[in-house]
Amino acid sequence: MISSSASPLISVIIPTHNRAWILRDAIDSVLSQKDCTFELIVVDDGSTDDTPELLRSYGNRLTAIRQENRGVSAARNLGIRNATGRFIAFLDSDDYWLPGKLAAQAAFFNGRSNALICQTQEIWIRNGVRVNPRKRHRKRTGMIFEPSLHLCLISPSAVMMHRSLFDVVGLFDESLPACEDYDLWLQISCRFPVLLVDAPLVVKRGGHPDQLSRTPGLDRFRIAALVKCIERAPLTALQRNAAIRVLADKCRIYGEGCLKRGRRNEAPYYLNLPHRYLSLYKNED
């Protein structure tokens, strides 16, 4: 930790909503990090449980900011706007870090002046039991845009990034109630390599009912992120064609699901959406 008069190298941002039952683990795992200077910002996204009391118990060891319940994107963005560090690291409030996480990533950047973003490996816990990620979830390093189209290969809790990246790609999209990280990682990975510190320094916990990954119909948010990427990101022809192929696949699955569930007014939009881009870019090499 740093003194109030020092400038931190890293700003750590934890967004949280009604997670007092598990938040202390995340906070303590940050405050126990050594060998680098950091500040901890916890953004309380309108919690109605004991979160405010928990945060007050830490006194000036962290900066607590409270906002009305506006979602995880708005909470992270508020943290970024209040951050003073050169690098930004995120931690979800149901996860925690192992000792040396921040120092390992700080050392990684110190030896690679051109690096802008890196992440670590993770340990996955589901309902209290350790599980092994499937092969398709294996983390990669370098230009990972195309494999990242299919599923999110970057974890917020594992990332450290140069704050200047937000000047290039913008902040988290507050219009997305879920898959906001998938959206941001696509915007970054189409432009820059995402590097890997090949050590498991994050414990990622799942299985509880309030996880955003349990939000129904997640693919419609992934589809929105893909459309945004195709229309706005500086994609190469190969990247754009890959994004359109994945969009077509996700739209087909989601549109057919709408038909099966009787949402016949919704289905045509998704089933026809890819054709707009297939036609628009059909002559692109």
Q: What are phi and psi of 16, to 5 degrees?
A: -150, 150
Range(s) of the domain holding residue 264: 218-280
Give the total number of structural domains in the chain: 2
Residue 280: its pLDDT value, please? 80
**CA geometry: angle 115, 121, 124, nearest 5 deg:** 150
- The reply to whether 75 and 163 lie within a common domain is yes
Distance CA 147, CA 213 (A): 19
Which of 162, 194, 210 is the C-terminal boundary of a domain? 210
Which pLDDT belongs to residue 285? Answer: 53
Q: Give the number of other CB atoms < 10 A from CB of residue 86.
A: 16
Distance of CA 114 to the CA centre of its chain: 22
pLDDT at 5: 43
Low-confidence residues in the chain, pLDDT < 50: 1-5
* CA–CA distance, 142 with 140 (Å, rounded to integer): 7
Mean pLDDT of the chain: 93
Domain termination residue (choose one: 176, 210, 244): 210
First to last CA, the chain: 51
Q: What percent of the chain has pLDDT over 70?
A: 93
Decide if 9 contacts 37 (C-beta within 8 A): yes
Measuring CA to CA, which residue among 68, 89, 69 is closest to residue 8? 89
- Residue 19 counted as domain residue: yes
Of the candidates 41, 157, 33, 42, which has an alpha carbon nearest to the alpha carbon of residue 102?
A: 33
Written as six digits, the tokens of 196 are 């890997």
**Other CB atoms within 10 A of residue 55 CB:** 22
Q: Based on the fold, state whether residues 139 and 205 are members of the same structural domain.
A: yes
At residue 240, the pLDDT reads 96
pTM of the model: 0.92
- The CATH number of the domain holding residue 61 is 3.90.550.10
Q: What is the pLDDT of residue 253?
A: 95
The amino acid sitting at 23 is: L
Query: Side chain identity at 88, as an amino acid letter?
Result: I
